[in-house]
């Protein structure tokens, strides 16, 4: 189980593109295939196609747009991380809205790039993320730092006040912290030594108390309200 895969041993990066615009996919494939370490093994134009392809091909890394038809890129990111957390995800999008940046990072994305990125820099990002680094586009890095620091630097008293406002139990606060880290229900259950059914029940209770519809919205709200 600890044995390295042939890709890690040789340094070859097997990559899947998930992008709905064909011309963009063609351009990306052309650029990426110029590097001998990168091998584009599949392309998809919808989130559903991407999930199916990624399950089958088991790539090392996925380049993913947010604005996909059907399942959007944030949901695709969550789904990928739930079935294989080792797959690296590089968001490549024109979206730089604060909530979407935070939601993508909360869902488990390893890098967030805007489509204005140069070809050479994108190749650098792919290689560094493959090797374990995280990367934020300079255009949104300041925004992301501000989002996290503005919440993270609040006093403990304010943080406790925010938690009390939403009436979360101590266990729900633990679950919410794991949820923000991108953990699935089964992973939350393992971390807290409870059943998956119990973990799911806690997540449902958190969504109800925070008045949100899904896990991504809960994660975004948790960070903004300094709940974790």
Q: Which fold has domain 6-148?
A: Rossmann fold (3.40.50)
Is pLDDT of 106 > 50?
Answer: yes
CA dihedral 114→120→125→130, nearest 10 degrees, is 140
Domain boundaries, the chain: 6-148, 154-224
According to DSSP, the β-strands at 38-44 and 88-93 are unpaired
Whether 85 and 112 have beta carbons less than 8 Å apart is answered as no
Mean pLDDT of 12-16: 97
pTM: 0.64
Q: For position 182, what pLDDT does the model report?
A: 74
Is pLDDT of 203 > 60?
Answer: yes
Read off the pLDDT of residues 18-46 as tens digits, 9 standing for 90 and up: 999 999 999 999 999 999 999 999 999 99
Whether 115 and 90 have beta carbons less than 8 Å apart is answered as no
| Contacts for 216 with CB less than 8 Å, ≥ 6 apart | 74, 75, 78, 103, 106, 107
Domain 154-224 grouped into CATH 1.10.10.10: yes
CA dist., res. 70 & res. 122, Å (int): 26
Question: Tokens 């110029």 appear where?
Answer: 34
Distances (CA, A) of 208 to 161, 196, 201, 202, 218: 19, 18, 11, 10, 10
| Local structure of residue 87 (DSSP, 8 states) | S
Q: Given pLDDT bands bounded at 50, 70 and 90, which one contains residue 186? A: confident
Is pLDDT of 97 > 60?
Answer: yes
Read off the pLDDT of residues 214-223 as tens digits, 9 standing for 90 and up: 777 788 778 7
């Amino acid at each position: 189980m600890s044995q390295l895969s042939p890709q890690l041993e040789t340094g070859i990066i097997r990559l899947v593109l998930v992008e709905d615009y064909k011309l963009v996919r063609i351009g990306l494939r052309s650029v990426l295939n110029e590097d001998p370490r990168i091998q584009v093994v599949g392309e998809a134009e919808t989130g559903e196609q991407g999930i199916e392809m990624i399950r089958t091909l088991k790539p090392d890394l996925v380049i993913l747009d947010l604005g996909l038809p059907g399942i959007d890129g944030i949901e695709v990111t969550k789904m990928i991380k739930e079935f294989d957390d080792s797959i690296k995800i590089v968001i490549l999008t024109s979206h730089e809205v604060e909530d979407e940046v935070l939601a993508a990072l909360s869902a488990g994305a390893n890098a967030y790039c805007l489509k204005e990125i140069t070809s050479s820099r994108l190749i650098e990002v792919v290689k560094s993320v493959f090797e374990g680094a995280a990367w934020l586009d300079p255009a949104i890095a300041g925004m992301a730092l501000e989002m996290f620091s503005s919440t993270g630097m609040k006093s403990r008293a304010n943080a406790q006040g925010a938690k009390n406002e939403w009436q979360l139990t101590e266990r729900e606060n633990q679950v919410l912290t794991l949820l923000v880290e991108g953990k699935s229900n089964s992973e939350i259950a393992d971390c807290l030594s409870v059943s998956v059914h119990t973990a799911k029940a806690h997540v449902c209770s958190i969504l109800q108390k925070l008045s949100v519809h899904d896990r991504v919205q809960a994660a975004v709200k948790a960070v903004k309200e300094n709940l974790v």
